[in-house]
Amino acid sequence: MSQALEHFQRAGDAPGQAWAHLFAALACSWEGDWAEGVTHCGQALALFRQAGDRAGQGLALAGLGNGHAHLGTYTLARKHARQALAVVPEAGDPMGRALAWDALGLVHCRLGEYRQAISCYQQALTLVAQAKTPVARKMLARQLTDFGDACRAAGDLQAAVEAWQHARRILDDLRLPDSPEIRARLERAKRPSVPS
């Protein structure tokens, strides 16, 4: 990634640099390095603004929202996610909008606002389901997992299990390793709950 970034810097290609930062942020998110991902998204946003690329700005803002949600800085997460929804028109890039709704869902879930989280995740899932690329399918599996978590927390175990099973089928279709986190969720769901 750093070689691509250096190439775009030498060429004076601001959009290329922005996309390199955005892809670096995506790689960071897969590794769970949210702080580094936020840094890359911030740099991408500045470059996309310089280039006047609204779709790119929306993706970078959504990435900032998602990163801040994972870091626990919920006020910033909400701000960036809402800005992403404002920047990317309804007819614009569904992935940018989906990431923004996903970030808002995560914020609501972490704050214990499960019904609002479910609503946001449903918006995200509708948008991501339209995309058929492997990256989008992997994103859909992750969002289904998060949606299932929100459903479980809201007391809807059946919807949670359906979401987790759907996520597992997507990963199987992509021939990606079965997620131990999804497997654990499904195993816990099979256990009878003990009344307190």
Tokens encoding 89: 């028109």
* DSSP alpha helix (H) spans, 88-179: 94-110, 114-128, 134-153, 157-173
Sequence-separated contacts (24+) of 29-37 with Cβ below 8 Å: 29/63, 29/66, 29/67, 29/70, 34/67, 34/70, 34/71, 35/67, 35/71, 37/63, 37/67
pLDDT at 157: 95
pLDDT digits (tens, 9 = 90+) for 39-54: 999 999 999 999 999 8
Q: Looking at the chain, how many residues does it have?
A: 196
Domain boundary among 70, 97, 122: 122
Could you tell me if residue 127 is inside a domain? no
- Residues 25, 63, single domain; the answer is yes
- Residues 26, 85, single domain; the answer is yes
Could you tell me if residue 28 is inside a domain? yes
Domain containing residue 32: 1-122
pTM of the model: 0.83
- Residues 53, 13, single domain; the answer is yes
Residue 88 is given by DSSP the state S
* pLDDT band for position 178 (cuts 50, 70, 90): low
- Residues 157, 73, single domain; the answer is no
Could you tell me if residue 195 is inside a domain? no
pLDDT at 166 over 80: yes
Rounded distance, CA 125 to CA 136, Å?
11
pLDDT at 22: 92
pLDDT at 70: 92
Q: By percentage, how much of the chain surpasses pLDDT 90?
A: 61
Residues 26-48 have a mean pLDDT of: 93
